[in-house]
Amino acid sequence: MNQEEKLQAEKKYNKWIVILSIAVPIVVAILFGVRIPNVAPLSFLPPIYATINGFTALFLVIAFVAIKKKNIVLHENLMTTAVLCSAVFLVLYVAYHMTSDSTKFGGEGAIKYVYYFILITHILLSIIIIPFVLITYVRAITENFERHKKIARITFPLWLYVAVTGVIVYIMIAPYYV
């Protein structure tokens, strides 16, 4: 496939990237305000989705090492798994918040500011990362590897930060779950 064909293949996905990048945060925000009636709180989910975030981070790091070692198949499989893990995380996270009240952080002093800094940057970057992940993934599946590498240099550290801080936020707030 020549460069022009790769760009055309990539463009086919652009509409979906834009739609998902806008729709996902809006739908998540809307669903946060929805409570499913007559459903017991899914209070067992936070450690599960935190673990999924941990696995996502692990898959990202191993995929990074794999591509540096030119193990393309392992890299592709790990990145696809990381994308799927992120999607499962999102579904579980929304399900938890549709059945449970948000947990308030109970720490005081400097740790409270650390927690909120990590939480706010995690939330903002989790929104920002959506189009980056989608664009990076599309550039890989359309075999536009030079453009893939350029954006992956931005996507990787942002996505890794979101995955790791998701675990940190859980660890910091876990003592305050009811």
pLDDT given at position 151 = 98
The CATH number linked to 165 is 1.20.120
Q: Which residue from 61, 80, 59, 62 is spatially nearest to 141, judged by alpha carbons?
A: 80
CB 129 within 8 A of CB 158: yes
Domain span including residue 27 = 3-32+43-176
pLDDT given at position 55 = 98
64 within some domain: yes
pLDDT given at position 140 = 96
Enumerate long-range contacts of 32-36, CB under 8 Å, 24 or more apart: 32/94, 32/97, 32/98, 34/98, 35/98, 35/99, 36/98, 36/99
pLDDT given at position 177 = 81
Q: Per the structure, how many domains does the chain have? A: 1
11 within some domain: yes
pLDDT given at position 5 = 82
37 within some domain: no
115 within some domain: yes
pLDDT given at position 8 = 85
Using a cut of 0.95, tell me whether the model's pTM lies above it: no
38 within some domain: no
Mean pLDDT in consecutive groups of 10 residues from the start of the chain, 178 residues:
81 93 95 90 95 98 98 98 97 95 93 97 98 97 94 98 98 89
101 within some domain: yes
